[in-house]
């Protein structure tokens, strides 16, 4: 079993990414698990080159700092050649209607003046990511389920038409993890691509910035702290964050809380302590570009070594070699 998980450098890594995904990736890692920073996927909407480069480095450093094994980690564009080749082959097996049916394409493209072809075809590139690494399981949230289903369909179709080259992957539901909400707008989930929200806490934020963000968190206007996610989402979010940091239940966190003002201080300190080692280690790595580049090249080589035999087989059986 090989599991593949990715994170897109569409913004700075935020607390939800860390508590909901990265921390678990590091803690529950099996030897064959693979992780990657999906910088090619960050180009489906307008982007700035310098920012993309910096965010990719930052995410790579944060993943390493969080304890992901360097040998299991790579940057997607370091395999741009291999992925580009397989992407084309897979695009030539994928129906236009099949790609256009993806609900994420419809949602993200809706109301846009102009939509990039990359937004339509990126699920095919995602299939190339999965198939080239031989991943058999892809842990994804419900918004990506359909894309893994497409990868599954394309793998089966390819194998049936040309011969068994690819393992057929399946989506797996990650174990339930905290779903962190935006502190200033608890109606929406915390997201790294949200621009300028004071309610998004970043993993590399300094402690004082984190304190300020929590002090301004929206709560319910009531004095007593109770865990009621449906009617009091703001307070419930703070309790869930505290619970995730301290490995307790949100109910236990609520019963130990005083007022909301006190709770905000306590949560801020718990988050600061939770993130401190990651932030410090990530900063060290970012201050040592040569070391970071070395780790990155090694990860890239391993990923290419995994990809090449499958790519060569795909080129051969499709008549390109």
Q: Which is nearer to ligand ATP, 26 or 311 (CB)?
A: 26
Q: Are strands 181-182 and 185-189 parallel, antiparallel or unpaired?
A: antiparallel
Give the 3-state secondary structure of residue 75.
strand
Helices within the chain (DSSP H only)? 15-17, 23-27, 49-65, 80-91, 96-100, 103-109, 117-132, 145-162, 207-215, 233-246, 250-256, 260-286, 289-317
**Residue with CB nearest ligand ATP?**
20
> Could you give the 3-state DSSP secondary structure of residue 225?
coil
Q: With binding defined as CB under 6 A, does residue 180 bind ligand ATP? A: yes
Q: Which stretch binds ligand ATP (CB under 6 A): 67-75, 127-135, 190-198, 225-233?
A: 190-198
Cβ closest to ligand ATP, residue 85 vs residue 253: 253
Nearer Cβ to ligand ATP, position 3 or 232?
3
> What does the alpha-carbon distance between residue 267 and residue 217 come to, in Å, rounded to a whole number?
11
Q: Convert residues 102-141 into a mask of x (bound to ligand ATP by CB under 6 A) and - (unbound).
A: ---------------------------------------x
Is residue 7 a contact point for ligand ATP (CB under 6 A)?
Answer: yes
- State which of positions 137-166 bind ligand ATP (CB under 6 A): 141
Q: Shortest Cβ distance from residue 171 to ligand ATP (Å)?
A: 12
Burial of 157 (0-12, 13-18, 19+ CB in 10 A): middle
Selected binder of ligand ATP within 21, 61, 66, 245 (CB under 6 A) = 21
* Residue 48: burial class (beta carbons within 10 Å; 0-12, 13-18, 19+): exposed
Q: Does 186 bind ligand ATP (CB under 6 A)?
A: no
**What single DSSP character describes residue 174?**
P
Give me the residues that bind ligand ATP (CB under 6 A), please: 7-8, 10-11, 14, 16-17, 20-21, 141, 178-180, 189-193
């Amino acid at each position: 079993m090989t599991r593949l998980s990715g994170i897109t450098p569409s913004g700075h890594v935020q607390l939800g990414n860390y508590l909901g995904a990265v921390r678990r990736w590091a803690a529950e890692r099996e030897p064959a698990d693979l992780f990657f920073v999906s910088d090619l996927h960050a180009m489906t909407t307008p982007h700035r080159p310098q920012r993309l480069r910096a965010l990719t480095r930052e995410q790579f450093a944060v993943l390493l700092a969080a304890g992901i094994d360097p040998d299991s980690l790579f940057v997607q564009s370091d395999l741009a050649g291999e992925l580009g080749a397989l992407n084309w082959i897979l695009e030539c097996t994928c129906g236009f209607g099949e790609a256009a049916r993806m609900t994420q394409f419809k949602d993200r493209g809706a109301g846009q003046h102009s939509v990039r072809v990359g937004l339509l075809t990126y699920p095919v590139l995602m299939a190339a990511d999965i198939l080239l690494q031989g991943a058999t399981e892809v842990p994804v949230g419900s918004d990506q389920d359909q894309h893994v289903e497409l990868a599954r369909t394309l793998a089966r179709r390819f194998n049936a038409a040309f011969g068994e080259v690819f393992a057929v992957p399946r989506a797996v539901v990650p174990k339930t993890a905290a779903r962190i909400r935006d502190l200033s707008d608890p109606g929406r989930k915390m997201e790294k691509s949200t621009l300028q929200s004071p309610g998004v806490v970043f993993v590399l934020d300094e402690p004082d910035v984190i304190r300020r963000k929590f002090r301004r968190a929206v709560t319910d206007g009531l004095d007593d702290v109770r865990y009621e996610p449906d009617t009091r989402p703001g307070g419930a979010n703070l309790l869930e964050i505290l619970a995730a940091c301290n490995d307790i239940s949100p109910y236990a966190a609520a019963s130990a809380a005083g007022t909301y003002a006190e709770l905000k201080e306590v949560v801020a300190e718990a988050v600061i302590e939770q993130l401190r080692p990651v932030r410090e280690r990530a900063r060290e790595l970012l201050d040592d570009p040569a070391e970071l580049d070395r780790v990155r090249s090694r990860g890239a080589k391993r990923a290419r070594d995994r990809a090449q035999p499958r790519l060569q087989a795909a080129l051969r059986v499709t008549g390109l070699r």
